[in-house]
Amino acid sequence: MRFRKYLRVWWFLTTKASQIAFTSRFGVVLFILGKLIRFVFFLLFLIVIATKTKAIVGYSLWEIILFFATFNMVDVFAQFFLREVYRFRRYIVTGDFDFFLIRPLSPLFRSLFGGGDPLDVPMIFLAVVLIVISVINIENIYISGMVLYLALLLNALLIALAFHIFVLAIGVLTTEVDNTIWLYRDLTAMGRLPVDIYLQPLRALLTFAIPVGIMITFPAKALMGLLTFPAILVSFFVGIGFFWVSILFWRYSLKNYASASS
């Protein structure tokens, strides 16, 4: 019953966000076109590099494209559902966050899920298509790998959710949101290629301390049968642990919140 209530709220907010997004149809076309051009240009860059070098750290062209498509899936899904985080600073500095705290709705839910962004839907579709094409062109893909891939994708989205909760908590404590969320975007962008391309200790840092590798590289590796069982267990342990710590940090930030309107 509670889930249905939150789902109705999310759908209502998504409807409002869609109405705002489509106020200028020309702006919508330019925005989507810009995303498509950036996507295609980086894809062409990968094709040129993989063609000239035959393989990137041992991966074929389609395997590299799978890593890139997986990155886009995780990145765009997070943007679609968690777009409200990008607006959160305004709520803090104006004191509107106070209203989130007194309404019969979780302030964390309202701060995270303020309505999906319909302009991200074409990119989600494109990422899905590219993943399917990549899987078709990669040899030795099994059903078990596909199941693990989907499970680790969910784990990646859980980590992405935890990152955004950290951003919200920092915003509550410091009113700084924009730079923090873009720092997250820059770090995850390093996962457009497998973390194997980075030297140690940067590779270990991106895999465990800042789990970009677990978010993006591990699902694709599991699909290709390149991930060990202990690594799979560590992935889920990191995902659940990261989310749990983010919730604790969010609760701590609320206890120390000083209203801008007081």
Confidence of residue 55 (pLDDT cuts 50, 70, 90): low
Confidence of residue 260 (pLDDT cuts 50, 70, 90): low
Residue 218 resides in a domain: yes
Candidate from 15-29, 31-45, 127-141, 176-190 with smallest mean pLDDT: 15-29
Q: What is the pLDDT of residues 170-201, one digit of tens each?
A: 999 988 888 888 888 888 888 888 888 877 88
Candidate from 25-39, 48-62, 102-116, 154-168 with smallest mean pLDDT: 48-62
What is the average per-residue pLDDT within 121-125? Answer: 87
Residue 48: give the domain boundaries: 25-255
Residue 108 resides in a domain: yes
Candidate from 125-129, 144-148, 196-200 with smallest mean pLDDT: 196-200
| pLDDT attached to residue 261 | 57
Residue 262 resides in a domain: no
Other Cβ atoms within 10 Å of 89 Cβ, number: 19
| pLDDT attached to residue 169 | 94
Above 70 in pLDDT, residue 231? Answer: yes
Residue 119 resides in a domain: yes
What is the average per-residue pLDDT within 40-66? Answer: 79
Candidate from 10-14, 18-22, 95-99, 219-223 with smallest mean pLDDT: 18-22
Bridge partner list, 56: 59
| pLDDT attached to residue 153 | 93
Residue 157 resides in a domain: yes
Residue 16 resides in a domain: no
Residue 147 resides in a domain: yes
Per cent of the chain over pLDDT 70 is 97
Confidence of residue 203 (pLDDT cuts 50, 70, 90): confident
Above 80 in pLDDT, residue 136? Answer: yes
Residue 181 resides in a domain: yes
Above 90 in pLDDT, residue 31? Answer: no
Q: What is the pLDDT of residues 244-253, one digit of tens each?
A: 999 999 999 9
What is the average per-residue pLDDT within 99-104? Answer: 85
Confidence of residue 238 (pLDDT cuts 50, 70, 90): very high
| pLDDT attached to residue 54 | 62
Q: Enter the pTM of the model.
A: 0.90
Above 90 in pLDDT, residue 152? Answer: yes
How many structural domains is the chain composed of? 1
